[in-house]
Each structure stands twice: as structure tokens, then as C-alpha cells.
């Protein structure tokens, strides 16, 4: 029987980088672990009790609220945060679309919207507007409004489909 402990070691991968034997308090949320222990402050904390969606990250490709997950529960997983969406100085198609469509003003909620949107498009490359709205219903924005965000996600979906079509030689 494993004895309950207040601190333990975790090993996990974040944005392709492996972290080994990082000691954390059992009560540490994944969000606080990312921000405070790994200095990955792109993941934002709004409400800290699962209402706002700002802290959404991808654990093994599934979108989760990092404030509702303990760091110790992420042991052995592969995590992607907003910092890991782009590659080599190039923004992810979803990030570019947010910029082009003015899908952010203050930007506080944006990391959560970006990670949630990436998860949606990885699962469903051709979402309808209703599907985008339903998927993002768990993320709250208090200044931009949602119309431009929905526009951006639909534009990114089209862009990614076009890229994939061009890559395989099949029509987009």
C-alpha cells in the first residue's frame, strides 16, 4: 500500500521538454506547478475553481483545466501549454488567426482560448460555427466578446485544411 505523502516527485514532459524528479506538494495544482515551479507563466489563472477556462492546457492532447488537476496527477503525462503551440518563432495557425481577426483585447483569457481551440481543431478539422461556440462555452472572455474569437477559429480551421490539402496534393 503506498503511504500517503504531502510531497512527492513527478516526471513529465512539457512542450517537448522532459522534467525529471521535480518535487511538488501534493496540493499543488498543475497550473501553479507550471507557473511557479517551471516559470511557464503563459498559462493564466482567472478564477482558480474551474469556471473561467483561462488555465486550459493539453494533457496527452486532451484539453483540461490545469487549476482542477493536481500536479502529481500529471505524473508521466505529456503536456502542451500556450508556449508550446508555435514552432521556431512561428505562431500556430490559431494564434495567427486570433491576431488577424482581433480575437483579443486584454489577452488575459487568450491562452485558454488558444489551447482549447487547438484541441478542437485537432479532433475536428471542420467544425461548424455552432460546434466552435459549444466547444468554447467553457472559456470566458470579459472584454473582446466572442464573435471575433469564433471568426478566428473558423479561419484557422480553413487555413489548416488548406495547408493539409496542399501537403497531400488533394483538393482542400
Partner 1 sequence: MKPAPFSYAAPHSVEECLDLLSRYGTDAKLMAGGQSLMPLLSLRMARPSVIIDINRIPGLDAWEVTGEGVRIGARVRQRSLERDRALRAEIPLMAEAVQFIGHPATRSRGTIVGSMCHADPAAELQVCAILLGAAFRLRSHSGDRVVSAEEFFLDALTTAVGEEELVEEVRLPLPVVGAGYSFSEVSRRHGDFAMVSVGCIVTRDAQGRLDESAVALGGIGSRAQRFRLGDYAPGATAVPALFADFARHVAETIEPDADLHASTEYRRALAAHLVQQGLDVAASRTESGAQ
Q: What is the DSSP letter of 101?
A: T
**Quick one: which of 29, 81, 110, 144 contacts partner 1 (CB under 8 A)?**
29
Nearest Cα to Cα of residue 49 among 35, 27, 74, 69: 69
> Cα dist. 110→2, 14, 66 in Å?
40, 19, 15
Under 8 Å between Cβ of 52 and 112: yes
**Quick one: which of 21, 49, 168, 170 contacts partner 1 (CB under 8 A)?**
49
**Quick one: which of 10, 38, 97, 119 contacts partner 1 (CB under 8 A)?**
119
Q: Is 2 in the site for partner 1 (CB under 8 A)?
A: yes
The stretch near partner 1 (CB under 8 A) out of 14-22, 24-32, 94-102, 152-160 is 24-32
**Torsion on CA atoms 51, 56, 61, 62, rounded to nearest 10:** 0
**Quick one: which of 56, 81, 110, 144 contacts partner 1 (CB under 8 A)?**
56
Which residues contribute to the site for partner 1 (CB under 8 A)? 1-6, 8, 25-27, 29, 32, 47-50, 53, 56, 62-65, 67-70, 72-73, 116, 119-120, 134-135, 137-139
Amino acid at each position: 500500500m503506498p503511504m500517503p505523502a504531502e510531497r512527492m516527485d513527478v516526471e513529465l514532459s512539457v512542450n517537448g521538454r522532459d522534467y525529471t524528479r521535480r518535487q511538488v506538494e501534493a496540493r499543488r495544482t498543475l497550473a501553479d506547478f507550471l507557473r511557479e515551479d517551471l516559470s511557464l507563466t503563459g498559462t493564466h489563472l482567472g478564477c482558480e475553481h474551474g469556471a473561467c477556462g483561462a488555465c486550459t492546457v493539453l494533457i496527452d492532447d486532451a484539453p483540461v483545466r490545469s487549476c482542477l488537476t493536481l500536479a502529481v496527477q500529471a505524473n508521466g503525462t505529456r503536456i502542451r501549454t500556450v508556449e508550446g503551440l508555435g514552432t521556431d518563432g512561428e505562431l500556430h495557425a490559431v494564434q495567427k488567426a486570433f491576431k488577424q481577426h482581433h480575437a483579443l483585447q486584454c489577452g488575459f483569457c487568450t491562452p485558454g482560448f488558444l489551447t482549447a481551440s487547438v484541441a478542437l481543431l485537432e479532433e475536428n478539422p471542420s467544425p461548424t460555427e455552432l460546434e466552435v461556440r459549444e466547444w468554447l462555452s467553457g472559456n470566458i472572455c470579459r472584454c473582446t466578446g466572442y464573435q471575433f474569437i469564433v471568426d478566428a477559429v473558423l479561419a484557422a480551421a480553413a487555413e489548416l485544411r488548406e495547408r493539409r490539402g496542399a501537403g497531400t496534393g488533394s483538393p482542400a
